[in-house]
């Protein structure tokens, strides 16, 4: 642009997976040396969770950008944002650019926007505030925010059910690029297992036209029936311990191999129920109840089995260090009635950084770990 039109202008681009940055720059002048493209085999500077072989089928990213134009003399101060969504398909599927919602607004399509655990999604909600399986303190505030794909104006409905059955609702529209945030909060006033249901649907005009009924509906990728758990613990709650003993867990792990975690349940508890949530920053890989055997509850983590439903999850020993594969979070919660007749809950979170396991024998308290 000429100086007559603008005295300051720049453009920016940021391509991000939910866990890592793929490409990012700010451009303030004509420069043919800066390219947007990136290779799917790029190790992405060895960021934590990047993957030894780069992008895989099922990986997805959001493309954000925009232009800024300032002209003080003319009183111009404009920002024009941009957003789109991309996903990695299998090698036999040709690359393409398509209108959203599988042709519901007109135009061609190439099938579902994305497939997670054999479920097809034409729209989904990626949570960026509270996360599936998160452990929170009694009395904390539950806050919802997230990015909808496709990156268009959408409507979001949220229903939260407390352990006693109290139902809280929240709803609202995203901005024109699909970002959702409502400042209303829900106070977590009961300890136990809270359930969150998030559903989103189109609420705007697309590049191809207005979507026709029935509108596609979607939730959090991988969450069973669009539901996920949040586990709320009192300040004095103890953490779960392995049957082999308590304390922090920090040990090497044979990347890609299956292993078992067996947790000890207090012997004087009755009416015991056990739950788990296994997730990466992009997907809920597994969730639901676990079978209790006497005073123990076990879970087998099998990358090969999970990768069959989520092909972007690395299931081999390729690579080393924290960048070798997706970071996987496993959260376990055991609830019951203790010897005093009071409701009780114990939780434990385990993190897998490719070839190492970590878990802190402590409870999250106001953002810190004690």
Percent share of the chain, pLDDT over 70: 94
**Residue 95, burial from CB neighbour count under 10 angstroms (0-12, 13-18, 19+):** exposed
Share of residues in the chain with pLDDT > 90 (%) = 70
Rg (CA), the chain: 23
269 has a pLDDT exceeding 50: yes
Q: Which class is 121-232 in CATH?
A: mainly beta
User: If DSSP codes are grouped into helix, strand and coil, which group holds residue 328?
Assistant: strand
Question: What per-residue confidence (pLDDT) applies to 2?
Answer: 52
End-to-end CA gap in the chain: 56
Calculate ∠ Cα 317-322-323, nearest 5°.
Answer: 80
Looking at CATH, the fold of the domain delimited by 238-369 is given as Immunoglobulin-like (2.60.40)
Query: What is the residue extent of each domain of the chain?
Result: 8-97, 121-232, 238-369
Plot region of 43 (φ>0 → left; ψ -120 to 50 → alpha; else → beta) = alpha
Contacts of residues 10-13 at CB distance under 8 Å and 24 or more positions apart, as own/partner, are 10/67, 10/68, 11/65, 11/66, 11/67, 11/68, 12/65, 12/66, 12/68, 13/63, 13/64, 13/65
Return phi, psi of residue 276, to 5°: -145, 155
Quote the CA–CA distance of 240 and 247 in Å, as a whole number.
10
The confidence band for 33, taking pLDDT boundaries of 50, 70 and 90, is low
Q: Which residues are registered as beta bridge partners of 230?
A: 194
pLDDT category of residue 46 using cuts at 50, 70 and 90: very high
Cis amide leading into 169 (omega within 30): no
Alpha helices (H) in 84-208, listed in sequence order = none
pLDDT band for position 366 (50/70/90)? very low
Residue 284 to residue 276: CA distance in whole angstroms: 11
Structure tokens at 54: 């780069």
168's CB contacts (< 8 A; 6+ apart) are 159, 160, 161, 162, 186
DSSP letter for 303, please: H
Q: What is the pLDDT of residue 4?
A: 55
Cα(333)–Cα(346) distance, integer angstroms:
6
| pLDDT single digits (tens) 116-147 | 988 999 999 999 999 999 999 999 999 999 99
Query: CB count, 10 Å around CB of 6?
Result: 16
How does residue 368 score in pLDDT terms, banded at 50, 70 and 90? very low
Q: Does residue 34 register a pLDDT over 70?
A: no
Q: Do domains 121-232 and 238-369 have the same CATH topology?
A: yes
Neighbours of 257 (CB within 10 A): 14
Q: Which two tokens stand for residue 258?
A: 């299956």
pLDDT tens-digit series, residues 76-90: 888 999 999 999 988
> Which of 12, 123, 115, 122 has the alpha carbon at shortest distance from 59?
115
Q: In the structure encoding, which two tokens stand for residue 366, read together?
A: 């106001």
- Can you list the alpha helix ranges (DSSP code H) found in 206-359? 303-309
Q: Please, are residues 233 and 191 in contact by the beta-carbon 8 Å criterion?
A: yes
d(C-alpha 159, C-alpha 170), whole Å: 7
Q: Over the chain, what is the mean pLDDT?
A: 90
CB neighbours of residue 218 within 10 Å: 24
Q: For residues 132 and 135, give the distance between their C-alpha atoms in angstroms, rounded to a whole number.
A: 9
CA distances 262 to 99, 242, 246, 352, 364, Å, are 47, 6, 12, 16, 22
The band of 264, judged by pLDDT with boundaries at 50, 70 and 90, is very high
Most confident of 47-51, 102-106, 180-184, 273-277: 273-277
Say how far apart CA 37 and CA 20 lie, in whole Å.
Answer: 16
- pLDDT for residue 352: 96
């Amino acid at each position: 642009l000429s100086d007559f039109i603008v005295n300051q202008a720049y453009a920016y681009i940021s391509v991000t997976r939910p866990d890592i940055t793929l490409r990012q720059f700010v451009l303030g002048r004509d420069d043919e040396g800066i390219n947007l493209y990136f290779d799917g085999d790029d190790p992405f500077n060895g960021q934590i969770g990047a993957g030894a072989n780069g992008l895989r089928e099922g990986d997805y990213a959001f493309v954000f950008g925009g232009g800024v134009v300032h002209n003080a003399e003319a009183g111009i101060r404009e920002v024009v944002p941009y957003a789109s969504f991309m996903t990695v398909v299998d090698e036999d599927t040709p690359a393409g650019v398509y209108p959203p919602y599988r042709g519901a607004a007109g135009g061609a399509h190439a099938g579902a926007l994305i497939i997670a655990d054999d479920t097809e999604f034409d729209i989904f909600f990626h949570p960026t505030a509270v996360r599936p399986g998160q452990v929170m303190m009694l009395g904390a505030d539950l806050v919802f925010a997230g990015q909808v794909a496709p990156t268009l104006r959408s409507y979001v409905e949220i229903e939260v059910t407390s352990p006693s059955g109290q139902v809280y609702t929240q709803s609202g529209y995203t901005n024109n690029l699909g970002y959702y945030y409502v400042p209303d909060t829900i106070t977590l006033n009961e300890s136990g297992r809270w359930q969150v249901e998030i559903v989103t649907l189109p609420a705007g005009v697309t590049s191809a036209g207005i979507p026709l009924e029935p509108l596609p509906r979607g939730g959090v990728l991988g969450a069973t029936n669009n539901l996920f758990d949040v586990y709320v613990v009192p300040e004095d709650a103890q953490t779960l311990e392995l049957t082999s003993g308590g304390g922090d867990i920090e040990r090497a792990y044979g990347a890609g191999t299956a292993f078992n975690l067996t947790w000890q349940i207090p012997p004087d508890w009755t009416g015991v129920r056990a739950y788990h949530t296994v997730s990466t920053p992009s997907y809920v890989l597994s969730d639901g109840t676990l079978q209790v055997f006497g005073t123990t509850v076990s879970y087998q983590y099998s990358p090969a089995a999970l990768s069959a439903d989520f092909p972007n999850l690395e299931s081999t020993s390729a690579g080393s260090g924290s960048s070798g594969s997706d970071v996987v979070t496993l959260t376990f919660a055991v609830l019951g009635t203790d010897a005093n007749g009071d409701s009780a809950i114990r939780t434990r979170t385990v993190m897998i950084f490719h070839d190492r396991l970590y878990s802190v024998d402590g409870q999250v308290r106001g953002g810190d770990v004690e």
